[in-house]
Amino acid sequence: MVMNLFSPVKPNHSLFDKHKSVVEQAIDSVHKREYFAQYPEMPSPKVYGETAESEQKAIFEGQVNNFFSRLMQSSDSQLVCEECSPYTGKPLSISYPACSNARGYIQHAMSAAPDWMRTDVQTRAGILVEALERMKDAFFEIAFATMHTTGQAYLMSFQASGPHAADRALEAIAIGFQELTRFPQQQVSWDKPAGKVNLKLLKFYTTVPRGLALAIGCSTFPVWNTLPGVFASLITGNPVIVKPHPKAIYPIAIVVAIIQKVLAENGFSPDLVMLAVDTEAKPIAKQLAEAAEIKIIDFTGGNSFGQYVESLPGKVTFTEMAGVNSVIIDSVRDLNAMAQNLAFSICLYSGQMCTAPQNIFVPASGIKAGGEHVSLAQVEEALIQAIKGLAEHPKAGPAVLGAIQSRATHERIAEADKSVGKGKVLLASQPLTNPDFPDILAATPLLLEIPATEQAVYKKEMFGPIAYIIPTSDTQESIKLASDLATACGAISCAAYTTEDDVMLQIAEAMANSGTPVSFNLTGGIYVNQSAAFSDFHVTGGNPSGNASLTDPEFVLKRFTRTQARVNLAD
């Protein structure tokens, strides 16, 4: 009797049995696309413990100016990194275990790989969901770490780097589990009638991981943008080197440490997930990316480096880069409701989101609002007052705008003001004060009006609190400009306002053809910036803003291959 040729190594289903219902619920939710959150942020963060916030704030404060000792990975040195709080202006001065060169990370990760690559998906899924369940116990520390590296306001830091990031990671696990179990994993008898005899084969199927993965993080969303790729690679059997942005290491270091601990407890090497830290003066991303052993690269960041990543031969790449996001205003039911919603989207995290709106196309002749005609000037004034009302509010302003992550982004505001050219300043940017952080790096949004002919100004991403109102000849020109920009320059989101069904259809088709999701008539508490796990696909891969989508099956399928063995059973 032939035994299974692809028997898993170290199978242990105890954690999978513990979390089986979570995996099944996640898979079901991926298919239904309805609201589901394994890790909700509502009704309040206190759902994760009445005293957890204060306790983890103390952990955060104790970690500043100290060595991050929780990582269990192999290392031969320590590196004091360049993280600096946009709120206080002070360096965090945290040191991390490091390898003296890029080869060290690769060698340690490759040495740890064989057992993980050959174990079964149930074992992997159980360990990975267990890591997410333990991540819950660090949500508040992760929030403080995110806040003081990225400049996100505290509540947004908690939501984005905690519950929302964990849900996106679970989504990747669910899709990976589904795809790895889609076809038989056990032996199959194949019996084909062929005249007087039957042709008999015993067939064995298995999946083979691509190899070592590299996840290159960004400075603004170091957890949310990093975890889907990390967990997609791990569930499919690939070891991962996590290379965070040198300015935002601490938040993802917490998560890597948690994964390492669960791996070690279950008999796997913690080097399966390694944190590779560097500085802007001595970067190692290219050394890692170009190594022959690296087969998979996840990247979030600017176009220049993203295009370099996509150009590397022999790599499977998943990128999210810059986009030029548009708003198309045709007609509205309530002008103020539209303005309030759009103002929030412009102000949220000071426009430092890949989904933040930038170019607002409005017919120069005005629009219909509540059935009445309003002029372009009235639309602009409504938006100006909505932005001012939010940004200048003593409590809401700091809570929504947060801080600006880098001085380069802060300087971009002045650059945009100077480049106004044939346009005009509708709302000047002002310093944003925060009573809790007198040394904060922050500013209110800059709103400019730019002629539609000045594409050289508005066709590039102006990352930060900068938005343009662009008068057009009519809505048809607005649609064409928005879709053409998305096709040529990339876009990750689009907001549109219209009371006409036929116009809605035109916009939906034009933006779909440019690979851009569109949100219609948002008012109230739903904003174009938001992307929900298990329901929304984030980025489409259909325009230059990125080649991958969080999270569709392709995001997982390209991380492994299928193979088989056949044994002849004929006499």
Residue 255 has pLDDT above 80, yes or no: yes
62 pLDDT band, cuts 50/70/90, is: very high
The pLDDT assigned to 433 comes to 94
The pLDDT assigned to 421 comes to 78
Q: What is the CA radius of gyration of the chain?
A: 25
State how far the Cα of 328 lies from the Cα of 528, in Å rounded to an integer: 12
| Nearby residues of 115 by Cβ (< 8 Å), 6 or more positions away | 9, 10, 267, 268, 269
* Phi and psi, residue 194, nearest 5°: -140, 65
Check if the beta carbon of residue 85 is closer than 8 Å to that of residue 436. no
Q: How far apart are the two ends of the chain, measured CA to CA in Å?
A: 14
State how far the Cα of 15 lies from the Cα of 11, in Å rounded to an integer: 11
Check if the beta carbon of residue 312 is closer than 8 Å to that of residue 541. no
- Name the residue among 472, 539, 176 with its Cα closest to residue 327: 472
Question: Per residue in 85-116, is it b (16+ CB within 10 Å) or e — as a string?
Answer: bbbbeeebebbbbbbeebebbbebbeebbeeb
The pLDDT assigned to 4 comes to 77
- Name the residue among 155, 134, 157, 137 with its Cα closest to residue 145: 157
- CA 51 and chain centroid, separation: 29
| Nearby residues of 372 by Cβ (< 8 Å), 6 or more positions away | none
Q: What angle do CA 265, 268, 272 make, to 5 degrees?
A: 120
Check if the beta carbon of residue 136 is closer than 8 Å to that of residue 48. yes
220 pLDDT band, cuts 50/70/90, is: very high
* 3-class SS of residue 351: helix
The least confident of 39-48, 155-164, 230-239, 452-461 is 39-48
Check if the beta carbon of residue 167 is closer than 8 Å to that of residue 37. yes
Average pLDDT over residues 556-564: 96
- Name the residue among 77, 66, 57 with its Cα closest to residue 145: 57
Give CA separation, 246 vs 86, 280, 281, in Å. 14, 6, 10
pTM over 0.85: yes
- Quote the crossing angle between the two packed helices 227-235 and 121-135, to the nearest 10°: 150
Do β-strands 424-427 and 494-497 pair in parallel, antiparallel, or remain unpaired?
unpaired
State how far the Cα of 373 lies from the Cα of 400, in Å rounded to an integer: 32
The pLDDT assigned to 309 comes to 98
pLDDT, tens only, 359-384: 999 999 999 999 999 999 999 999 99
Preceding omega of 163 cis (within 30 degrees of 0):
no
The pLDDT assigned to 1 comes to 55
Check if the beta carbon of residue 331 is closer than 8 Å to that of residue 247. no
| Nearby residues of 350 by Cβ (< 8 Å), 6 or more positions away | 151, 401, 402, 403, 404, 409, 442, 443, 445, 464, 465
Class of domain 326-520 (CATH, top level): alpha beta
Check if the beta carbon of residue 358 is closer than 8 Å to that of residue 461. yes
Do β-strands 197-209 and 188-194 pair in parallel, antiparallel, or remain unpaired?
antiparallel
The pLDDT assigned to 493 comes to 98
Check if the beta carbon of residue 478 is closer than 8 Å to that of residue 378. no
Q: Element (H or E) spanning 341, and its range? A: helix 335-347
State how far the Cα of 390 lies from the Cα of 340, in Å rounded to an integer: 9
State how far the Cα of 341 lies from the Cα of 338, in Å rounded to an integer: 5
The pLDDT assigned to 418 comes to 79
Residue 59 has pLDDT above 60, yes or no: yes
The pLDDT assigned to 184 comes to 81
Give CA separation, 114 vs 95, 117, 414, 558, in Å. 30, 5, 53, 19
Domain extents for the chain? 54-322+550-568, 326-520
Burial class, 424, CB count within 10 angstroms (exposed 0-12 / middle 13-18 / buried 19+): exposed
pLDDT, tens only, 265-301: 999 999 999 999 999 999 999 999 999 999 999 999 9
The pLDDT assigned to 571 comes to 61
State how far the Cα of 173 lies from the Cα of 128, in Å rounded to an integer: 8
Residue 2 has pLDDT above 90, yes or no: no
Average pLDDT over residues 201-229: 96
State how far the Cα of 389 lies from the Cα of 397, in Å rounded to an integer: 9
417 pLDDT band, cuts 50/70/90, is: confident
- Name the residue among 249, 59, 65 with its Cα closest to residue 146: 249
137 vs 197: which has the higher pLDDT: 137
Average pLDDT of the chain, as a whole number = 96
pLDDT, tens only, 423-447: 899 999 999 999 999 999 999 999 9
CATH number corresponding to 54-322+550-568: 3.40.605.10
Check if the beta carbon of residue 49 is closer than 8 Å to that of residue 164. no
Average pLDDT over residues 9-38: 97
Average pLDDT over residues 74-83: 96
- CA 267 and chain centroid, separation: 30
pLDDT, tens only, 487-535: 999 999 999 999 999 999 999 999 999 999 999 999 999 999 999 999 9
